[in-house]
Homo-oligomer: A and B are copies of this chain.
Amino acid sequence: MKKAVCLLSGGLDSAATAYIAKKQGYSIYALTFDYNQRHRREVQHAKDIARKLGAVEHKIIQLDLASIGGSALTSRRIKVPKTGSKGIPATYVPARNTIFLSIALAYAEVVGADSIFIGANHIDYSGYPDCRPEYFKAFQKMINLATKKGVEGHKIKIKTPIIKMSKADIVKKAVALKVPLEQTWSCYKGGKKACGRCDSCTLRKHGFKQAGIKDPAEYET
């Protein structure tokens, strides 16, 4: 059975992506980062999703990105903005996808996976540079040169199956694949309920509305 490393954040997009990998016949090696993000609630959600999904293994890596800072998600000194801010928002975490993919690459090489699935999306997204197709293309070129497997001719492929889907289409896909939507957590804040106001909540709410599907998440507003 072919193997895939799936980055799992606890959110909707990465859950849908992991279920797509499963549907494609991969056995799943889930990978989640506990990176001292603003709230760790999402790590528990990732655990629940990995279990439901039937992942062969779920690796949770501790990585203190808060000690580097520079983002509203890793530094308490920077506020999570409401939706609609211009340019790259304060929730951008410097080099996050590059860091996550690099560690996923190590994991893929060790377990012998031929693919890494990441739930990046370039349509209904927050403007992060490391969610763009051209970024992933460059990352792919780099990893072909970076690893022992690469040198030996076994290329590890970065797969971004939802990169060009709208949020509404992701929701529909997730429903079709029986993703446990009630286990996914999208809000940037870690309250009892999702805030309903941050970029991530706004995109999610809009996606469910457009898809005509009831969002099981509870929102403050």
A interface size (C-beta, 8 A)? 44
- Count this chain's copies in the assembly: 2
Cβ of A147 and Cβ of B95 under 8 Å apart?
A: yes
Determine how close the nearest CB of chain B comes to the CB of A221; give it in whole angstroms: 29
Cβ of A110 and Cβ of B98 under 8 Å apart?
A: no
- In the complex, chain B residues whose CB is within 8 Å of the CB of A110: 68-70, 94
Stretch from A9-17, A136-144, A176-184, A207-215 at the B interface: A136-144
Interface of A is mostly: helix
Q: Does A85 contact B (CB under 8 A)?
A: no
Determine how close the nearest CB of chain B comes to the CB of A8; give it in whole angstroms: 16
CA gap between A103 and B95 in the complex, in Å: 7
CA gap between A188 and B130 in the complex, in Å: 35
Cβ of B146 and Cβ of A135 under 8 Å apart?
A: yes
Per CB-CB distance, the 4 closest pairs between chain A and chain B, nearest first, are A70-B110, A95-B106, A138-B142, A94-B106
A residues whose Cβ falls under 8 Å from a Cβ of B: 59, 61-65, 67-70, 88, 92-99, 101-103, 105-107, 109-110, 129-130, 132, 134-135, 138-139, 141-148, 150-151
